[in-house]
Amino acid sequence: MSGGGTLTFTELKLFLRDPASTIATVALPVAIVVVFGVIAQPAGDADPIMTYFPTMALALGLAQLALNLTPTTLAGYREKGILRRMSTTPVHPAKMLTAQLAISVGLAVVAAVLVTLVGHLGFQFELPQHVPGFLAAFGLGCAALFSMGLLVAAVAPSARVATGVGVGLFFVSLVFGGVFMPAETLPPFLVRIGDFTPLGATMQSLRDSWGGTMPEPLHLAVLGGYTIVAGLAAAKLFRWE
């Protein structure tokens, strides 16, 4: 196994030793689908609101990973001097960032698969009807949200600050992103604001593709813009110590 592969495997084992992280990123989205599946009983119901429940679970888990866990972990490693010590070894600290991102994206994919299968097989939620659109929405959503998380990790001086900023962004994103409540029930100005937030654009793109249409170009462009701007800013501002 290569050095990067070994590091990724080690980081994954460390992550799995923390039950709270596993519950927040994988078990919670599945539990949300189960709860709403029992309440809504979606079998045979073509109401567009039914695209809200599984995509809300996916968006919630993705936001937890990108805005809460990733920046806190990376800022904590820098605060403890782990990244600085790694910079003096053949294992460059950039490999730590790669390992963390690989684990986070992998967990997001696992959560997406479980949410989709449990929702469909257990409660007859529809599968994503526009598969290319769903893959585009999920991929760009991951890229945009993790770019934001890396930017928080880049500028936060400590794990405590990263946690505070990440939690703040997380809850603001839930309110304006149409995650707390379906977009159909929100005032139009909140929906419009959500169109220009990374989580809101992700949520609406996932719902569109789940319902059978290609995500709106505006939402995909917003996600691409956040990926480029936040990603470049994170790369420029990130400090190893």
Tens of pLDDT, residues 169-190: 988 888 888 888 888 888 888 8
- Rounded to an integer, what distance in angstroms lies between the CA atom of residue 60 and that of residue 241? 31
How many CB atoms neighbour CB 163 within 10 A? 18
Res. 7: pLDDT tops 90 = no
Note the pLDDT of residue 92.
Answer: 64
- Rounded to an integer, what distance in angstroms lies between the CA atom of residue 100 and that of residue 237? 18
Range of the domain at 149: 3-237
Kindly report the pTM of this predicted structure: 0.88
Note the pLDDT of residue 206.
Answer: 94
Total domains, the chain: 1
Phi and psi for 197 in degrees, rounded to 5?
-105, 150
